[in-house]
Amino acid sequence: MAGTNNTPHVDVLRSPLGRARGLGSARAGSGHWWAQRLTALALVPLTLWFIYAVIHLSGASHQTVIDWLSAPLTLGLMLALIVATFYHLQLGLQVVVEDYVHNELLKVASVLLIKALSVLLALVCIVSVLKIGL
C-alpha cells in the first residue's frame, strides 16, 4: 500500500491476482460509453420527429401510412431512428445486465441474447420500412 514503505511502487487499481489471471477491463469501455452518448445525441432530434409523426399518424389509414413512408426523407429518418434506437437500447440493456447479473455464464448468455434480439428486431423493422417505402 502507498505510504507504508519507501520502496518504489506503482498503484494499480487491479489486484495482482486479477492481473495474473488476465481478468478485469476488456478495454472496450470507452468505446461503449462513447457509442451510447453518440446514439443518445442522434436520438434527441429523431425522437422529437418520431413523436410528431406518431401524433400525425394517429388513427391513419393504411394507405396514408404507406404514402407517408414512401417519401425519401421520411424513409431515411425512419431508418436512422431504427438503427439508433436498437443500437442505443442494446448498449443500455447490456450495462443493466452487467450491473445486476453476477453469474458469469448467465451474464454472457443474457448479453448475447439481448444483442441477437436487438439485431433481429432492427432487421425486421428495417425490412418492413423498406418494403413499404421502396
Q: Where does this chain bind another protein (CB under 8 A)?
A: 37, 40-41, 43-44, 47, 51, 54-56, 58-60, 62, 65-66, 69, 85-86, 89, 92-93, 96, 121, 124-125, 127-129, 131-132
Smaller CB distance to another protein: residue 59 or 72? Answer: 59
Closest CA to 94 of 75, 77, 114: 114
**How far, in Å, CA of 130 to CA of 59, rounded?**
22
Cβ 103 to another protein shortest distance, Å: 19
Cβ 7 to another protein shortest distance, Å: 28
Burial class (CB within 10 angstroms; exposed 0-12, middle 13-18, buried 19+) of 85: buried
Sign of CA dihedral 91, 25, 100, 113: positive
Cβ 3 to another protein shortest distance, Å: 23
Q: What is the CA radius of gyration of the chain?
A: 22
Smaller CB distance to another protein: residue 85 or 111? Answer: 85
Cβ 29 to another protein shortest distance, Å: 14
